[in-house]
A = this chain, B = another copy of it.
Amino acid sequence: MPAMRYDVAAIGNAIVDVIARCDDAFLARHGAAKGGMRLIDTQTATELYAAMGPGTELSGGSAANTVVGIASFGARAAFIGKVADDQLGQIFAHDIRAAGVAFATRPRAGAEPTARCLILVTPDGERTMNTFLGVSPKLDDADVDPDTIRAAGIVYLEGYLFDQPAAKAAFHRAADLAKAAGRKVALTLSDGFCVDRHRAEFLAFIRGKADILLANEKEIMALYEAKSFEDALRRAQQDVPLAALTRSAKGSLIVAGDRSVTVPAAPVAKVADTTGAGDLYAAGFLFGLASDRDLETCGHLGSLAAAEIISHIGARPEVNLADLARLRGLL
């Protein structure tokens, strides 16, 4: 087996978030389903951007946020994702590297710009995401560096990429490389609508290749078209060796075979912006696994990182997560 240089290597969309506040009426006027993620085309992106308020730009992307969180806990992480050769691409690359994550995917020249996500945050802190993917889906097989994958203890894959055939192929290749090298494959379902669009493929991937599954309540119920969370949970238990299922304020449930562990959410004084809650739960959970902690501690680390991220605007941690975890007696 090759030497392990990374605890986690992730493949996902490389996105810069553009965050603005709005009220519920604005979402309704612009046909955005509150709390969801939708893909938008150039025209919708232009119109929505023109209509929305002043923005704050921060690097984002679901799996990218997760590896930044993992690095903040002190582990070694790498990211594979596609940016364009433009200013937003430079911002994305700078930020992820400055956070200590290895990022070597070559930017792609051409007309398609770096992906951006127009994130509208309502007064209750809920985020509604409108993603213009730009160049991001152009990630393909050739971008999946075999050495990086083989050198990572866990390969973490972002479900959003199932929307893109070339990227999906890159996914499968990464999973096969990882398994051949004796590594673990983790998948996040990313979004209920994304699951609805690709249910059969998600199920085949989970049953055939995934060792670890991350999902929230809505996503896991969408995957199994289940009537209750408990139903979905039982199905997940049969399909994958380890699943961590998040339930917002109700915390998370971790199932591994016939064992299950319930972990409460960590307290938050005021929810400012829920963007990145799932991404950072995944960061804490995967960091815990990578450092051989028990499942309950893994869940608490996830809760801790999620609580930090929703206490402020943006999906990248504002404090060092290792320091925070030590402060709370988790490290």
User: Which positions in A face B, CB cutoff 8 Å?
Assistant: 20, 49-50, 52-59, 68, 86-88, 91, 94-96, 98-99, 113, 314, 316
Contacts and interface: CB of A to CB of B under 8 A. Distances in A.
Given A58-B57, A314-B56, A50 B87 contact: no
Contact of A87 (B52, B87, B95, B314): B87
B58 A98 contact: no
A94 B57 CA distance: 12
How many copies make up the complex? 2
A52 B98 CA distance: 7
Nearest to A314: B56
A58 B57 CA distance: 6
A113 B87 CA distance: 9
A94 B55 contact: yes
Nearest to A51: B98
Most chain B beta carbons < 10 A, residue from A68, A88, A98, A316: A98
22 contacts: A20-B98, A49-B94, A50-B94, A52-B98, A53-B98, A53-B99, A54-B59, A54-B95, A54-B98, A54-B99, A54-B316, A55-B91, A55-B95, A55-B98, A56-B56, A56-B57, A56-B314, A57-B57, A57-B58, A87-B87, A87-B88, A87-B113
A320 B156 CA distance: 42
Nearest to A96: B54
A91 B59 contact: no
A58 B18 CA distance: 10
Nearest to A88: B87
